[in-house]
Amino acid sequence: MTGTTDITIQSYRKEYQPYFERLNIAWLEAYFKVEPIDAYVLGNPEEAILNEGGAILFAAIDQQIIGTVALKYMEPGVYELTKMAVDESFRGNGAGKILCAAAIDKGRELGAHKIILYSQTGLKAAIGIYRQLGFTELPLEPGKYERADIKMQLLL
């Protein structure tokens, strides 16, 4: 198996949009369903994430895209970590943690003082990564995402 030292982080490029969409749809369909907001964001990442001041990062091994994560601008100093996905055949090699850490670094670069995220407690590996990187639980407001049952934040 390829080690974490072989993983590089790359910023969004237009030709990476299909990877952003495919990787996220794969995990959403495996565990939940693709909600209308997901379909919009995944099909239109420039409009939904980038044009509003967010960022999308990709993990690659030898130029093969294996994972992705986005930071969506919410309000001054606050970003939502969203759409984190790793190709199933590359899970367990640290790519998720590397992506999440890169997103935190990118958030700092963008002037974030807080990063929030919504997840599902059944996604134990992801929740473990978030906790390892310092995210703490917040009360969850209803209606953000049907599948979300946990909200977390990281103060920078």
Domain assignment present for residue 122? The answer is no
Q: Which pTM was predicted?
A: 0.92
For residue 93, give the CATH number of its domain.
3.40.630.30
Helix count and strand count (H, E) for the chain: 5, 7
What is the number of domains present in the chain? 1
Instruction: Note the pLDDT of residue 3.
Output: 52
Cβ neighbours for 44, distance < 8 A, ≥ 6 positions apart: none
Q: CA angle at residue 22 from 19 to 23, to 5 degrees?
A: 80
Instruction: Note the pLDDT of residue 93.
Output: 85
Q: How far is 29 from 3, CA to CA, in rounded Å?
A: 27
Q: Is the CB of residue 54 less than 8 Å from the CB of residue 71?
A: yes
Cβ neighbours for 6, distance < 8 A, ≥ 6 positions apart: 61, 62
Domain assignment present for residue 139? The answer is no
Domain assignment present for residue 32? The answer is yes
Domain assignment present for residue 150? The answer is no
Q: Please report, to the nearest 10 degrees, the dihedral formed by the alpha carbons of residues 69, 73, 78, 84 taken in order.
A: -10
pLDDT in tens, 61-100: 998 999 999 999 999 999 999 999 999 999 888 999 999 9
User: Containing domain of residue 82, as a range?
Assistant: 4-110
